Amino acid sequence: MSRKIHLALHPYGVGGPGQHGLWKDPRVAKNASIDINYYIQQAQAAEHALFDALFIVDSQFINATYPHHYLNRLEPLTLLSAVATHTRHIGLVGTASSTYNSPFNLARRFASLDHISGGRAGWNVVTSFDTGTSKNFGLDEHLDYATRYGRALEFVQVARGLWDSYEDDAFPADVERNVFLDPSRLHALDHEGEHFKVAGPLNLSRSPQGQPVIFQAGVSEEGRDLAAQVAEGIYAPGGTLEQAQEYYTDIKRRTAAYGRDPEHIKIFIHGGPVVAATDEAARRREREIFEEDNDFDRNLALLGRSFGAYDFSVHDLDAPFPDVAHLAQKGGRTGAAKIIARAREQKLTLRQVAESVNEFRNSPFVGSPQTVADTIEQWFQAGTFDGINLAFRTNDELELFVDGVVPLLQKRDLFRTAYEADTLRGNLGLPIPANRHTRERESE
């Protein structure tokens, strides 16, 4: 079977980072971010188009300057459980922090979503860079970078151990023999590590896909290394074609170095396509979108997120960019470091840096359906992604992509014409993990 492109959908709601003007669009309901019907309709449209997954982002800290969608949105696993009952094939990927959750509870919640959906759950593992989150969980300080990533690795290992609590044949439910459970197929975890002590077992059996699919989105050295060790799907930053190639090659190389099959990790780059009847119309619309979202005060606040929700408005906007490197150490360190380095090298003022947060950049996936399909094919064949995590401002724009671009990709044998499986793993081409206890017993 030829290699196929995977597509995921990331709903914007009333507008996340950088989409500051989206909530004003008359086609967007002002309560979209808390309207379950909005998500159900998005998921059903994506499923009709044979997308692999619906992806829900999350964070657990806000202040009044945060993106509009962040201020008032549904909790991902609750949301996805509702969506699961209105869909049959599309994967359901939710974001949850390994820093501000406990392994047993989170493993149980994702396993529950996996059962509710019939094997379509995925977990996007994040370590939380919003430093203010700590105070919502009774901690005075946000954990440092190394601790957060060490905790994340152990957290995933514990969750996977808990998901193997029951072997697949643990429940004979034999009325004649009066045997519901075979106790020899139930296993406690008895984990004691640097960050967690978890006895187990989990009180939930394995789903049709064995375990939820693990996603991750790190760009730092620690993030890339964590992805290479545990991720089965990655949300990659994208950038230029050359930057996407570098990231793709690096992750696949690291994955192989850990003894894993590089084909068992699917890299999704971010894509915000703008599709119109002609290339010129699409480029005009792209520029209109930028102008709709170009709000300086919101951009200044967005800049502060990389520095622990720091309030840059206390500084002179036309003075040199302030020395805030210490604020990045427990926040979005990689992105913040790039901002600081560029400000120093180019001697930028705070105003110039804030303006650059949302400066106009041509997206590669803009144009007529033919042009967008051509570009997607070019990037795919150049080794930049296994899939694209797509975001559309409105349902109308999603439909333009589905009706115009998807059929062209299908004609080129680059995208499926039917789902291959009923599970997320099956559609991504990922293996079902063997239960560790079954494997050990069979190898004896």
The full set of domain ranges for the chain reads 6-279+362-443, 295-357
Distances (CA, A) of 368 to 24, 158, 275, 371, 410: 26, 47, 6, 5, 16
Radius of gyration for the chain, computed over Cα atoms and rounded to the nearest angstrom = 22
Quote the DSSP letter at residue 66: S
DSSP string computed for 255-299:
HHHTT--GGGSEEEEEE--EE-SSHHHHHHHHHHHHHHH--HHHH
Comparing 1 with 212, the larger pLDDT belongs to 212
Least trusted range by pLDDT, from 22-31, 67-76, 236-245: 236-245
What gap in Å lies between CA 300 and CA 65, rounded to an integer?
Answer: 9
Indicate the SS3 state at residue 152: helix
Does residue 241 surpass a pLDDT of 90? Answer: yes
Closest among 247, 258, 67, 50 to 153, alpha carbons compared: 258
Does residue 1 surpass a pLDDT of 80? Answer: no
pLDDT computed for residue 160 by the predictor: 98
Indicate the SS3 state at residue 157: helix
The model's confidence at residue 44, banded by pLDDT at 50, 70 and 90, is very high
Closest among 155, 167, 77, 69 to 114, alpha carbons compared: 77
pLDDT computed for residue 258 by the predictor: 96
DSSP string computed for 178-226:
TBS--GGGB----EE-SS-EE----SS--BTTBSPEEEE---SHHHHHH
CATH code 3.20.20.30 for 6-279+362-443? yes
pLDDT computed for residue 192 by the predictor: 98
Least trusted range by pLDDT, from 4-13, 119-128, 180-189, 359-368: 359-368
The model's confidence at residue 212, banded by pLDDT at 50, 70 and 90, is very high
Q: Going by C-beta distance under 8 Å and a sequence separation of 6 or more, which residues neighbour residue 183? A: none
The model's confidence at residue 359, banded by pLDDT at 50, 70 and 90, is confident
What is the arithmetic mean of pLDDT over 156-178? 97
The pLDDT tens digits of the residues spanning 83-132 come to 999 999 999 999 999 999 999 999 999 999 999 999 999 999 999 878 88
Quote the DSSP letter at residue 24: G
Q: For the chain, how many residues are written?
A: 444
* Residue 89 tokens, joined: 């094939």
pLDDT computed for residue 329 by the predictor: 63
Quote the DSSP letter at residue 32: G
The model's confidence at residue 315, banded by pLDDT at 50, 70 and 90, is very high
Contact 57, 129 (CB under 8 A): no
pTM of the model: 0.94
Indicate the SS3 state at residue 249: helix
What is the arithmetic mean of pLDDT over 248-270? 97
* Residue 312 tokens, joined: 């840059």
Does residue 13 surpass a pLDDT of 90? Answer: yes
Work out the percent of the chain whose per-residue pLDDT is above 70.
98
Least trusted range by pLDDT, from 2-16, 158-172, 278-292, 346-360: 346-360
Tell me phi and psi for residue 199, to 5 degrees.
Answer: -80, -50
What is the arithmetic mean of pLDDT over 32-53? 98
Contact 52, 424 (CB under 8 A): yes
The pLDDT tens digits of the residues spanning 51-96 come to 999 999 999 999 999 999 999 999 999 999 999 999 999 999 999 9
Distances (CA, A) of 337 to 8, 217, 342, 351, 360: 29, 17, 9, 18, 21
pLDDT computed for residue 331 by the predictor: 57
